Structure 1
Amino acid sequence: MSSQPHTVLPWVVSRTSLPLLSMRCIACRSESATIGDGKFRVNANGKLLDVWLLAHCTSCDRTAKLTVHERTPVKSLSPTALDGYRTNDPALAASTLLDPLIAHRNRFTLDWKGVWNLNAPPTPLDHAWPIHIEVVFEDPIPVRPDRLIAYGLALSRNEALQRIKCEIPLRRPSNTGFNFTVMPAE
Structure 2
Amino acid sequence: MLPWVVRRTGLPLLSLRCVDCRSESATAGEGRFRVNANGKLLDVWLLVRCVSCDRTTKRTVHERTPVRSFAPAVLDGYRANDPGLVASTLLDPLFARRNRLSLDWTGAWRLDTPSPCPAEAWPVQVEVVFDDPIPLRPDRLIAQGLGLSRNEALRRIKCDVPLRRPTSTDFTFTVMPEDWRGTSDPLR
TM-score, normalised to structure 1, is 0.94
Residue by residue over 1:119-162, the C-alpha shift from the partner in whole angstroms, topping out at 9 and shown as x without a partner, is 00123262342100000000111110000000000011111111
Please point out which of 133, 143, 165 is paired with 2:126.
Answer: 133
Q: Find the counterpart in structure 2 of residue 111 from structure 1.
A: 104
Alpha carbons of structure 1 residues 27 and 58: separation in structure 2 relative to 1, 3 Å: same
Aligned residue type for 2:75: L
Pairing 1:156-167 to 2, within 5 Å after superposition: 156-167=149-160
CA distance in 2, matches of 1:121, 1:112: 23
Counterpart Cα distance in 1 of 2:9 and 2:59: 23
The counterpart of 1:83, out of the listed 76, 85, 93, is: 76
| Local SS of the residue matching 1:184 | coil
Moved over 6 A (4+): none
Q: Displacement of 1:46 after TM fit?
A: 0.2
Alignment RMSD: 0.9
In 1, distance between residues paired with 2:102 and 2:40? 32
The aligned counterpart of 2:12 is: 19
Give the letter aligned to residue 49 of structure 2: H
Do structure 1's residue 183 and structure 2's residue 165 form an aligned pair? no
Q: Give the corresponding residue for 2:33.
A: 40
Using the aligned pairs only, state the percent identity: 70
Task: Give 5+ residue unaligned stretches, structure 1.
Answer: 1-7
Whole-angstrom CA distance in 2 between matches of 1:126 and 1:114: 31
User: In structure 1, how many angstroms separate the alpha carbons of the residues matched to 2:30 and 2:127?
Assistant: 34
